[in-house]
């Protein structure tokens, strides 16, 4: 059972917060965290950062003297806001965010120098802001290459662009996948009235269940072929099947009230 339903981008200063971030990630295995160490060698790191912010559910900002002076952390924060991502500042006891125009206006998690309690508060803040509901479903794409599993992507937002180098579009998440047989911008998947609809963008066409399609309302287990050896499997799953057990993971910790 996959319990890593929530994904979270962490913006932080390595100089002051590396150990804290490593311990946070290891303490909350049910949440998928993205940090700058996740950047693949050989890729353009600025593009990778923007894509990661777009594709994660929550933006966690570890406030420190160094991070608030860092132009990179500031750019990450501005990117998160421009992409309408929920921002959660994590504020140490001795950190003053009063002079930071953006952070001072956002409700954050104030640390109390009690790691177990602090991590529980951060976890609760992340889960609360995502507002997961048991009676809803999530949609995802499972990527296969040469008949082998490669990755799983949770569909978020209102539009997902897919291809070797998909074009940026308003309110769009980007999935870079494919080879020389895949178009740069191969297809879009658009959410309309709680349904995901495929729109072909490739001159070579897009095949769904081995049939050429220009547009299609996706249903559970549809298979989307984007090259000879790469395909995406669309699946819908009830959150009640994979929901993180709030009671067992949070209620055993001291209350933060």
**What's the pLDDT tens digit per position in 17-62?**
889 999 999 999 989 999 876 555 555 567 778 888 888 889 999 9
Q: Is residue 253 included in any domain, yes or no?
A: no
Where on the phi/psi map is residue 196: left (φ > 0), alpha (ψ -120 to 50), or beta?
beta
Q: Is residue 256 included in any domain, yes or no?
A: no
Higher-pLDDT residue of 103 and 3 is 103
Domain end point (choices 131, 163, 191): 131
Could you tell me if 57 and 112 lie in one domain? yes
| Mean pLDDT score of the chain | 82
**Total domains present in the chain:** 2
Q: Please check the confidence at residue 127 and state whether its pLDDT lies above 90.
A: no
Asked whether the beta carbons of 175 and 193 are under 8 A apart, the reply is no
Q: Please check the confidence at residue 252 and state whether its pLDDT lies above 80.
A: no
Q: Is residue 249 included in any domain, yes or no?
A: no
Please give the pLDDT value at position 239.
Answer: 56
Tabulate helix, strand, coil % of the chain (nearest 5): 30, 30, 40
Q: Is residue 1 included in any domain, yes or no?
A: no
Please give the pLDDT value at position 245.
Answer: 42
Asked whether the beta carbons of 183 and 200 are under 8 A apart, the reply is no
Range of the domain at 212: 138-240
Average confidence (pLDDT) over 5-23: 90
Could you tell me if 28 and 100 lie in one domain? yes
Per DSSP, the three-state class of 133 is coil
Domain end point (choices 110, 131, 152): 131
Please give the pLDDT value at position 256.
Answer: 37
Q: Is residue 182 included in any domain, yes or no?
A: yes
How far, in Å, CA of 1 to CA of 41, rounded?
Answer: 31
Please give the pLDDT value at position 12.
Answer: 94
Phi, psi (deg, nearest 5) at residue 74: -65, -40
Q: Please check the confidence at residue 171 and state whether its pLDDT lies above 70.
A: no
Q: Please check the confidence at residue 168 and state whether its pLDDT lies above 90.
A: no
Could you tell me if 125 and 142 lie in one domain? no
Please give the pLDDT value at position 143.
Answer: 95
Asked whether the beta carbons of 216 and 198 are under 8 A apart, the reply is yes
Could you tell me if 150 and 102 lie in one domain? no
Q: Please check the confidence at residue 254 and state whether its pLDDT lies above 50.
A: no
Q: Please check the confidence at residue 194 and state whether its pLDDT lies above 50.
A: yes
Could you tell me if 31 and 87 lie in one domain? yes
Q: What is the dihedral of CA 204, 207, 213, 215, to 10 degrees?
A: -100
Q: Which band of pLDDT confidence, cut at 50, 70 and 90, is reported for residue 158?
A: confident
Asked whether the beta carbons of 32 and 6 are under 8 A apart, the reply is yes
Instruction: Tell me how crowded residue 162 is: count the other CB atoms within 10 A of its CB.
Output: 28
Q: Which residue from 208, 207, 202 is spatially nearest to 188, judged by alpha carbons?
A: 202
| pTM of the entire predicted model | 0.52
Q: Please check the confidence at residue 90 and state whether its pLDDT lies above 70.
A: yes
Q: Which residue from 154, 160, 123 is spatially nearest to 242, judged by alpha carbons?
A: 154
Higher-pLDDT residue of 123 and 16 is 123
Could you tell me if 142 and 77 lie in one domain? no
Could you tell me if 49 and 166 lie in one domain? no
Asked whether the beta carbons of 254 and 117 are under 8 A apart, the reply is yes
Q: Is residue 20 included in any domain, yes or no?
A: yes
Q: Where residue 97 sits, what CATH number does that domain have?
A: 3.40.50.10140
Asked whether the beta carbons of 88 and 125 are under 8 A apart, the reply is yes
């Amino acid at each position: 059972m996959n319990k890593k339903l929530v994904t979270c981008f962490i913006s932080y200063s390595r100089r002051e917060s590396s150990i804290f971030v490593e311990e946070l990630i290891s303490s909350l295995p049910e949440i998928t965290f993205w940090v700058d160490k996740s950047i693949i060698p050989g890729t353009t790191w600025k593009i990778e950062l923007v894509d990661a912010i777009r594709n994660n559910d929550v933006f966690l900002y570890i406030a420190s003297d160094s991070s608030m002076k860092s132009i990179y952390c500031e750019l990450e924060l501005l990117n998160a806001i421009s992409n309408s991502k929920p921002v959660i500042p994590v504020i140490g006891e001795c950190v003053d965010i009063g002079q930071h125009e953006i952070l001072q206006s956002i409700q954050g998690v104030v640390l109390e120098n009690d790691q177990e309690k602090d991590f529980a508060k951060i976890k609760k803040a992340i889960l609360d802001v995502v507002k997961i509901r048991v009676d809803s479903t999530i949609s995802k794409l499972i990527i296969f290459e040469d008949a082998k599993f490669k990755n799983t992507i949770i569909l978020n937002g209102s539009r997902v662009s897919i291809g070797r180098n998909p074009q940026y579009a308003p309110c769009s998440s980007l999935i870079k996948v494919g080879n020389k047989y895949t178009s740069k911008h191969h297809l879009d998947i658009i959410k309309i009235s709680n349904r995901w609809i495929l729109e072909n963008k490739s001159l070579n066409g897009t095949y769904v269940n081995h049939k050429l399609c220009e547009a299609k309302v996706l249903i559970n287990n549809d298979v989307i072929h984007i090259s000879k050896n790469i395909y995406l499997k669309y699946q819908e799953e009830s959150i009640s099947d994979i929901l993180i057990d709030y009671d067992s993971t949070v209620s055993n910790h001291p209350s933060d009230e």
